[in-house]
Structure 1
């Protein structure tokens, strides 16, 4: 039976590597997938999934108004009509940026179309608040898994994301500011509050 999966981790925990690896594993077995990502992440262009180690794939960008259930239902019907076979799995990167309706649509894909949906994203923002997508995935997902990484400063387990500007920590501002290693560090709780301590 299909399930809705949510895998989360701090920045730099390898979430993108995981989604690309899992998608590849499906494809080498000859199984059709749908690969999607948030349209908000424009670091490498819209509809691009790019890991820090250089792996990348094109993906369908998810916009505010997009209905994921309708999109996958129509894509599946189109593929089956062309003799390509059904979609075996839906993969979604940057899932923290999903809206509540998107998460409910993911649940419908699982429950009504019997297609597993694997989502990957951050748990908390730089102020340690849940993203909308994360909050709803924690509510609706059948299986939740943490992808672990280490603190930028000490090597302990990182559970938070520290926003950096000109080498200094930032604790106020807009929730969404797209960036990579130059803008965020994965940190433990102690170094979130005391980034200068060694």
Structure 2
């Protein structure tokens, strides 16, 4: 029986390299994988899954016009992998449920749990609510050795705590931090 997995972590936790590793493992065994990524993630070009260590693979772009259910029905993959799943809509997550439950195709979705203000993304909220299995991909805080659970947005190396929820970026824009370091940096910014 297929399952819907949500594997989440902060920035720099290795989510994209994990997507690419899992895809490689399936393909090495001669199995078919569909690799999906939301259209909003254009950091390295639309339709690409790219890890910070330089590995990359082309992916199918998820936008409002893509019928993921029909794609899965037609392609009959052994597994579907979704990178940057936090950017999915609630409706798109509902389509993943149909793929898992009705087509019996496992789906593994990778993404951030929350934004730089600690608010859940729409796709993450939906996945947390319905995933069969929820797993954390861990990394350490940028400032100390505790487990990072938050994403801190930075501009010119300084933390910022306001702005639009979605701002595509990498190490130049975000660092993974623990809750204590996040609170400390927030307090310092309010006192400045």
TM-score range, shorter chain: over 0.9
Question: How is 1:33-182 mapped onto 2 (pairs within 5 angstroms)?
Answer: 33-76=33-76, 87-182=77-172
Q: Which runs of 5+ in 2 are unaligned?
A: none
Q: Distance in 2 between matches of 1:173 and 1:75?
A: 40
Does residue 4 (structure 1) correspond to residue 4 (structure 2)? The answer is yes
Moved over 4 A (4+): none
- State whether residues 153 and 195 of structure 1, in contact with CA within 8 Å, keep that contact through their aligned partners in structure 2: no
The TM-score normalised by the length of structure 1 is 0.92
Post-superposition Cα deviations, 1:79-113, rounded to whole Å, max 9, x if no partner, equal: xxxxxxxx100000000000011101000000111
Q: CA deviation at 1:70?
A: 2.1
- State whether residues 96 and 123 of structure 1, in contact with CA within 8 Å, keep that contact through their aligned partners in structure 2: yes
The TM-score normalised by the length of structure 2 is 0.94
**Matched residue count:** 187
**Aligned to 2:123, what secondary structure does the other structure show?**
helix
Aligned to 2:26: 26
